[in-house]
Amino acid sequence: MTPEDCTLLGKAATDPKGQIALKRNRCGAWPSEWDRLATLTSYGHLSCLGEVMGPHIGGTFTLWQITPLGREVAERVIPAH
């Protein structure tokens, strides 16, 4: 896994709900992290929960949930603080 993958997985692992969200930009495109989250999903580390509307007009997010495998990997590769 790349350092960027570890960072994203760590964010999901430390979230109280085990989730990470990514917001579309104003022109409707996804930030570059979307591809990394999709890769983590293909490894079985995250599960995509789908798109949701945010609390603000024009805010569309995709949510991912860490899986048990993802949590296990996060515990191995992300140092405890």
Higher per-residue pLDDT: 57 or 34: 34
Q: What is the pLDDT of residues 46-75, one digit of tens each?
A: 999 998 887 766 678 899 999 999 999 998
DSSP 39-53: HHHHTTSEEEEEEEE
Give residue 80's pLDDT: 58
* DSSP 8-state symbol, 56: S
Q: pLDDT above 90 covers what percent of the chain?
A: 54
Most confident of 5-19, 25-39, 66-80: 5-19
Specify the pTM.
0.84
Q: How many CB atoms lie within 10 A of CB 62?
A: 18
- 3-77 placed in CATH 3.40.50.970: no
Which among 75, 54, 81, 59 has a CA at the least distance from the CA of 9?
Answer: 75
The domain ranges of the chain are: 3-77
